[in-house]
A and B are shown apart, each in its own frame.
Chain A
Amino acid sequence: MLTPDELREIEHELSHYAQPQAATIEALKIVQKHRGWVSDEAVADIATALNSTPATVDAVASFYNLIYRKPVGRHVIHVCDSVSCWIMGQTRLSELLKARLGIDYGQTTPDGRFTLLPICCLGTCDRAPAMLIGSDTHRDLESVDAARLDALLERYP
């Protein structure tokens, strides 16, 4: 069941479009904002709310990399692995993150705190390498060391 808050927010987005199915991505994002991820049940509920089908909604959900169809940690870390960040030392940053967190890409720390994922260009290439933690963009990480990285991660309990 979608909650009254979720339904109200989805209704608001529906009013922006000529067809209800157009709000599919907004609906997925609304559910994810409230629950952290999008379950099979939520996919079916969104389909009902938008007069669509679960298969259609899931085809959309599985296409977009920022819709999570599995549970993720409280904070998702997205490391930009596109070319400018790669030139500026993204590989080193990724390896350091993996070592500090003890996980690989696509995994979540056992305490459910962080999920680590790569992401394509974040559009801040003049201050590469960069990464997102939640919706915060962190830049200028070329010479980041373990101590500085730990201090940064501390800000996300």
Chain B
Amino acid sequence: MTARQSPPLRPLTERLRPDNTPLSLAEYERHGGFQGLRAALKMGPQDVTGMVKTAGLRGRGGAGFPTGVKWGLVPMGPEAPKQKYVVANGDEMEPGTFKDRLLLEGDPLQFIEGMIIAGYAIGASIGYVFLRAEYTLAAQRLLAAMAECEARQLLGRNILGTGFDFTLYLHTSAGRYICGEETALLNSLEGKRAVPRSKPPFPATAGLFGKPTVVNNIETLCNVPHIVHYGADWYRDLSAKTTGNADGGTKLYGVSGKVKHPGCWELPMGTPARAIVEQHAGGMREGLQLRGFLPGGASTDFLTAAQLDVPMDYDSIAKAGSRMGTGLLIVLDDKTPLLGMLRNLEKFFAIESCGWCTPCRDGLPWTERILADFEAGRARAGDIELLRQQTRLLGPGRTFCAHAPGAMEPLQSALKHFPQDFEAALRGTEGD
């Protein structure tokens, strides 16, 4: 960690200490902190949004929606509603994902700076951090950093003497994966059951308490100060120059499963999965082969060992038949039973269904039971076709939100890439 003059290559994690203890406000400012906010406050709000749009920043929470476009949908000007909100989605609960925890525990001020800039860009005077309950260390460090900012007029009224007011509140949640869905999150923040809302209207026009609201992921917001400080062109140039990669910036990638060194690293957007698994995670443990991987959490389609060279950017992964999701890989090795892994995944989604719509509430436990039959050698002829049918009936367009379609992604891709596992389980049943 050194004070630097030239723009950083790993802007989000460069300031992190090896033990991940956060910087004080004074230290943060010595290392370039709040330069982005100071620059933003000298620009018009719409120019800040334009800059984020030009930079090509896409949402890091899973959906990959362009952040500047999202901000641009918020009504601005004298006719716009007076009260607007920015909400940070820190409900990191996608199985296999542990990047926002790192950013919040290690550098809460960077996140706060991004949050204030987002508030300025859309004209919001109040921000909420929606944080999952279990991240107690992140909560402590955030509250300490917020207090430091309030004492130095970086949060609250008349920020840095510019007349811009922005108050930040921390809301710690009480569990449930569905809170990560942005409209379910807004209901939860309003003190209700976290059931997703019908869209449209989108939160940009009618969000928290019916007011225009932007919901952004923690990692997404951490990119913002750097974009404003160093510029959109610098940001675009950070990404890997791999074929088909239209995205800018860096990405926090990670690996869990039976690799030698599981972890999380900030790398150029579009780094190939092979480099992440083999170089950064040290490859598979002795005696194990990689069979497949979920590229971005539990709700993404399996890719296979033959697809390891795919660049980990939104478009390239989509072309390979999956989704970037959160960008943290879960690795399936050749000794871990695929059917057991699938059953674990579908049980998770079944438990975490909010129960609002029938296909999801009833279809997910049914799917889990069929997989349990395969696992226990009780599956019957026709059950493979039944599973395929589930992936259609619980797929996009059939349910109220993306929960059940997400749950079908690992299943449909397992049926496509690894049909032999299902067939072998059936043969075992017939042999009894």
Contact = CB atoms under 8 A, between A and B. Distances in A.
Interface of A: 16-19, 21-26, 28-29, 50, 59-60, 63-67, 78, 81-84, 86-88, 119-128, 132, 135, 137
Given A88-B258, A123-B97, 13 more contacts: A16-B169, A29-B174, A66-B173, A82-B96, A83-B348, A84-B256, A84-B330, A87-B257, A121-B298, A123-B135, A125-B330, A128-B262, A135-B134
Q: How large is the interface on B (under 10, 10 to 19, 20 to 34, 35 or more residues)?
A: 35 or more
A66 B133 contact: yes
Contacts of B94: 121
Given A19-B209, A120-B177, A87 B262 contact: no
Contacts of B354: 63
Contacts of B352: 120
A25 B174 contact: yes
Nearest to A64: B174
A22 B208 CA distance: 10
A73 B329 CA distance: 36
B390 to A, nearest CB: 19
A125 B328 contact: yes
A92 B225 CA distance: 44
A137 B132 CA distance: 14
25 contacts: A19-B191, A19-B209, A21-B190, A29-B174, A63-B354, A64-B175, A66-B133, A82-B344, A83-B95, A83-B294, A83-B341, A83-B345, A84-B95, A84-B96, A84-B256, A84-B330, A87-B333, A87-B336, A120-B351, A121-B97, A123-B92, A125-B97, A125-B98, A125-B254, A128-B256
Given A81-B344, A125-B262, A63 B194 contact: yes
Nearest to A59: B193
Contact of B298 (A50, A83, A132): A83
B258 A22 contact: no
B4 interface: no
A28 B254 CA distance: 35
Nearest to B170: A16
A86 B344 contact: yes
Contacts of A81: 344, 348
A124 B341 contact: no
A63 B209 CA distance: 20
Contacts of B136: 135
B192 interface: yes
Contact of A22 (B190, B328, B336): B190
Interface string B254-270: 11111000111000000
Interface string B330-350: 101100100011001100100
Nearest to B136: A135
Contacts of A18: 83, 209
A155 to B, nearest CB: 17
Q: Which 6 A-B pairs have the closest CB atoms?
A: A24-B191, A64-B174, A125-B256, A126-B262, A82-B95, A65-B175
A126 B191 contact: no
Contacts, number: 139
B256 to A, nearest CB: 4
B188 interface: yes
Contact of B191 (A21, A84, A87, A88): A21
B330 A83 contact: yes
Chain B CB within 10 A, most for which of A16, A21, A88, A126: A126
Given A19-B190, A60-B191, A86 B328 contact: no
B205 interface: no
B93 A22 contact: no
Nearest to A57: B191
Contacts of A17: 190-191
A46 to B, nearest CB: 10
B361 interface: no
A121 B190 contact: no
Given A123-B132, A126-B256, A29 B172 contact: yes
A52 B172 CA distance: 21
B176 interface: yes
Contacts of B294: 83
B364 interface: no
A127 B333 CA distance: 17
A63 B176 contact: yes
B262 A121 contact: no
Contacts of A124: 98, 101
B94 to A, nearest CB: 7
Interface string B231-267: 0000000000000000000000011111000111000
Contact of A82 (B188, B255, B336, B348): B348
B407 interface: no
Contacts of B264: 126
B189 interface: yes
B13 to A, nearest CB: 14
